[in-house]
Amino acid sequence: MVNRLQFYIDGAWVDPVVKKSTPVVNPATEEAMYEVALGSKADVDKAVAAAKRAFETFSQTSREERVALLEKIIAVYKGRMKDIGAAVSDEMGAPLPMAEKLQAGAGLGHLMSTLDVLKKYEFEETLPASVVVREPVGVVGMITPWNWPLNQIACKVAPALAAGCTMILKPSEFTPTSALIFAEILHEAGVPKGVFNLINGLGPEVGAAMSEHPDIDMISFTGSTRAGIDVAKRAAPTVKRVSQELGGKSPNVILEGADLIKAVTGGVMHMFNNSGQSCNAPSRMIVPAARMKEVAAIAKGVADKTKAGDPRGEGTTIGPVVNRGQWDKIQALINKGIEEGATLVAGGPGLPEGVNKGFYVRPTVFADVKPEMTISREEIFGPVLVIIGAQDESEAVKIANDTPYGLAGYVSAGTIEKAREVGRKIRAGNVNLQGVPNDRTAPFGGYKQSGNGREWGRFGLEEYLEVKAVAGYNAA
């Protein structure tokens, strides 16, 4: 039985200081499934005190102890994959097979990747007259979103544990159950009390209290750029470290000479995956202007075969978006694209055919989009692709970089040499060439208003480490 009306603090399930809750709505049915407790500053204070006490001992554990702990967590996690997948599917609408394989699988992948890093990582480095020691940063506040819940939880918690940090997690109030299951996993695996704490709650209350708390040494935040700015402002007076992975409007540059059918088909499918609710989604497809009609026809073919439907139904490609607020925002932007003169190739406003409830969005493609149009500038966070024409390679790169964001970029070309050349010109933290997916051992994070800091692999571990120079370490 998942403890949705309690928090996990100091190794135990406890009641909130003040009893307050909110319904969790199934986006496929629009019906409330259950209530989840909402925390307050008082709950944050309790959790931080527990994490601060636990840091004194957990920060001194050996690499071998932390390796053994991660191995135990992985073993327990594997037994809960179906539970996690079902929770993610119910709460944010991902099709069940995708939720079990990719959503739950992403969390497992980060745990396993971090374990590999920890086994080999050098925490000390000898210089000519000193030793550089890497030590845990301290108590970490973690704020995670709803779109890839276990991916973002695991890629924060795993390296923090590997580093020897203690932590307080505030997951999204829209997807609380998978996070609560994760807390159960850590408890069963024997994570020492106070090392991991979980409080459900709202950003303006729990998130703000964490960002401002003087005994939290670092905030790791994933979410919107707007919310990330607020976190950074609140964290500034205590000069805590702030690591952020924020929004994106990522370009997918398809150059003359690329395999057009492969590149366009792959780009559209990637864009629609997870109902377009991925911060690194290739949402701006930039193609040779002379090939616009051909590209639009290929994209339409993919969109027409993409079925938005019941997450547990047969043949469903994508489920609903997470809630009414997101649905309304996406609908407004689709209508804005039509008003501003983009060519609607597929989809459009309203519910998909044959659907009369649920937050479903029609898989939508716009062609002939101008770089200055609203749908080309704003992050839509739904299954909506915009196709922009460029006269040549130089203009394609200019359009790709003409954005306040810089999380990801994608390049397809006739040769790998050309893809590499153009990829180096894209101002983004992650660039994928020729349709190759992300590497979990490589860093993930953004330039510009897509954030700062990096997650995943060795780079993710180092976010949770302080660097200490010790002169005279080897003195006689």
Identify the active-site residue in 173, 205, 279, 463: 279
462 and 394 inside one domain? no
For the entire predicted model, the pTM comes to 0.96
**Contacts (Cβ under 8 Å, ≥6 apart) of 23:** 32, 33, 34, 35, 36
Collapsed DSSP state (helix, strand, coil) of residue 172: coil
Average pLDDT (152-181) is: 98
Confidence class of residue 473 from pLDDT cuts 50, 70 and 90? confident
Say what the pLDDT of residue 476 is.
Answer: 67
CATH number for the domain harbouring residue 241 = 3.40.605.10
- For residues 454 and 446, the answer to whether their CB atoms sit within 8 Å is no
365 and 464 inside one domain? no
Would you say residue 1 lies in a domain?
no
In total, how many domains does the chain have? 2
Count CA atoms within 13 Å of residue 352 on its CB side.
Answer: 25
Average pLDDT (32-38) is: 97
Say what the pLDDT of residue 354 is.
Answer: 87
322 and 179 inside one domain? no
Confidence class of residue 141 from pLDDT cuts 50, 70 and 90? very high
169 and 285 inside one domain? no
Identify the active-site residue in 245, 379, 455, 463: 245
Confidence class of residue 273 from pLDDT cuts 50, 70 and 90? very high
CATH number for the domain harbouring residue 350 = 3.40.309.10
Confidence class of residue 475 from pLDDT cuts 50, 70 and 90? confident
Task: Write out the residue range of the structural domain in which residue 457 sits.
Answer: 7-246+450-471
pLDDT digits (tens, 9 = 90+) for 55-79: 999 999 999 999 999 999 999 999 9
205 and 276 inside one domain? no
Would you say residue 106 lies in a domain?
yes
Q: Name the DSSP letter for residue 203.
A: I
Confidence class of residue 1 from pLDDT cuts 50, 70 and 90? low
80 and 12 inside one domain? yes
Q: Does 165 participate in catalysis according to the annotation?
A: no
423: nearest Cα among 414, 431, 413, 435: 431
160 and 263 inside one domain? no
Q: Does 279 participate in catalysis according to the annotation?
A: yes
pLDDT digits (tens, 9 = 90+) for 280-333: 999 999 999 999 999 999 999 999 999 999 999 999 999 999 999 999 999 999
Would you say residue 476 lies in a domain?
no
